[in-house]
Structure 1
Amino acid sequence: MTKKTEVTVEEKLRALYDLQLIDSRIDEIRNMRGELPLEVEDLEDEVEGLKTRMQKLTGELDDLNDQIGNRKNLIEEAKTLIKKYSEQQKNVRNNREYNSITKEIEYQELEIQLAEKHIREFKAQIEQKKEVISKTKERLGDRESHLKHKKEELDSILAETEKEEKALFDKSEEYAEQIDDRLVKAYKRIRGSVKNGLAVVSIERGASGGSFFTIPPQIQMEIAARKKIITDEHSGRILVDPALADEEKDKMDQLFASI
């Protein structure tokens, strides 16, 4: 690891505040994307789920049509047997043979009735499936269209911000190199523990930025002296004086404008 050049407390404070401003800008870029990446991911999952459902429904529809085909074949076979038995009845030798053939004919007629009943049921199921498929197809088309729109929106934001975000990441690492590891770790720890990611804040109207707790005048003077790193006793954030903050904001605004 490259040995860091010894720097003053004021230089550390300036570097810390600059690092905060850079990281906050990166946070802003991410906020611009907002929930879009998650929305796109959810929509992709939903579209995939609807496609799977369409495949399943189409498979069930094919199966029902196959079942109808099987029943129609069964009906034709039964009709052929009925015709055959009817011819046999003309040549029977006794009542027993006649009755036996009659029972076979009646059985085949029942088979036809049952097959026709099944066909009606299958056709009703097909109509229901077709209705579900139609609604699912409509839903799929809507979700695919919405996904396309959201992807375009996300791609547009990424195209606008990707270059800036990469440059800011590089700058963030560059400024972190100006600060000793202990301070960088403390900074990252504080950033990770607060909702807005602000680990370094300036004093505003006698209080820590974003806080209502007043900082005693003596502490304010010490902060303005820039001789040591001072943290807010309530939030744990590192504090800088307003003058330093304004100077670094102007410097960082110029940096951001150049990226």
Structure 2
Amino acid sequence: MAAVKDYSVEEKLVGLIKLQKVDTKLDQIKVLRGELPIEVSDLEDEIQGLHARRTRIEEEINGITEFIDSKKEAIKEGESTLSKYEKQSENVKNSREFEALNKEIEMMQLENKLAEKHIKDANEELGEKAKALEASKKQIATKEGVLGHKKSELEKIIAETEKEELALVKLSEAARAGVEDRLLYSYDRIRKNYRNGLSVVPVERDACGGCYNAIPPQRQSEIRLHKKIVVCENCGRILIDADLNDSVEVK
């Protein structure tokens, strides 16, 4: 709870004007940074996802490579077995043994052919995965290049505005300490309702400086008297007269 002495309405208005002007300057710094902080964060998340995808592809490539190696080993063992069968066929004693051995040879030959087909299919898949990996690496490199540029741009803006921002934050805190809680609550609530963050606006050309709706002469007279807090009946912003607004400066 802010400890605030019993200020006059004019002093309360001056406090609100000062707070608004400081917060507006802080808003301008945020505008200067634009969408860069969000873009940097989004790019970092995207790059993290791309790295995860690259890791998955590399794991799939390793799995396919291991599969191909296992099939090559199976073919090698199959050829060794075929060689043994061929030697055995030279010493068969009867047609029954010959037929049985022939079936074993045919089965081994089929298994070798199937293994060769598996290797061919796996090599085709491996080629596709290699292309996908290369594309993933290029995409990561591109995104990291963009991220580096945006980070550099953001860091430059932060470096240029950091000193001013810190000073303004202190001024804002000091200004808030001079505004009673009820008004501060209303001020913050109104600021959240509008993208430009304007809670306190002057009457300009007989109209509200926030929504530009006309302010009746009687209402304007009340605003100039500084006897009570007057709000716009259309947008709810706190209204002040232009002279009072111009008299408050924020260095």
Specify if TM > 0.5. yes
Q: Please, which runs of 5 or more residues in structure 2 have no aligned partner? A: none
Q: Is residue 49 of structure 2 the alignment partner of residue 49 of structure 1? A: yes
Deviations 1:217-250 (A, max 9, x none): 12211211212211111111111111111121xx
Identity of aligned residues (%): 43
Give the letter for the 1:111 counterpart: E
The aligned amino acid for 1:57 is I
Deviation at 1:101, TM superposition (A): 0.7
2:87 matches 1:92? no
**C-alpha distance 100-223 of structure 1, shift in aligned 2 (>3 A):** same
Q: Give the CA RMSD over aligned residues.
A: 1.4
Residues 50-69 of structure 1 aligned to structure 2 (within 5 Å)? 50-69=50-69
Q: Kindly indicate whether the alpha-carbon contact (under 8 Å) linking 2:17 and 2:245 is maintained by their aligned counterparts in 1.
A: yes
TM-score, normalised relative to structure 1: 0.93
Please state whether the residue corresponding to 2:87 is helix, strand or coil.
helix
Q: 1: distance between equivalents of 2:131 and 2:176?
A: 61
Write the mapping of 1:12-51 to structure 2, written as runs, cut at 5 A.
12-51=12-51
The 5-angstrom pairing of residues 1-259 of structure 1 reads: 3-248=3-248, 251-252=249-250, 255=251
Cα drift, residue 2 of structure 1: 7.0
Match for 1:123: what amino acid?
N
CA drift of 1:3 comes to 4.0
Name the count of aligned residue pairs. 251
Q: Which runs of 5+ in 1 are unaligned?
A: none
Residue 152 of structure 1 aligns to a residue in which SS? Answer: helix
CA drift of 1:24 comes to 0.9
Residues 180-216 of structure 1: per-residue CA shift (max 9 Å, x gap): 2211111112212223211110001001103332111
Please report the TM-score for the alignment, with normalisation by the length of structure 2: 0.95
CA distance in 2, matches of 1:78, 1:46: 48
Deviates more, 1:3-12 or 1:92-101: 3-12
Q: Is the 8 A contact 2:210 2:237 kept in 1?
A: no
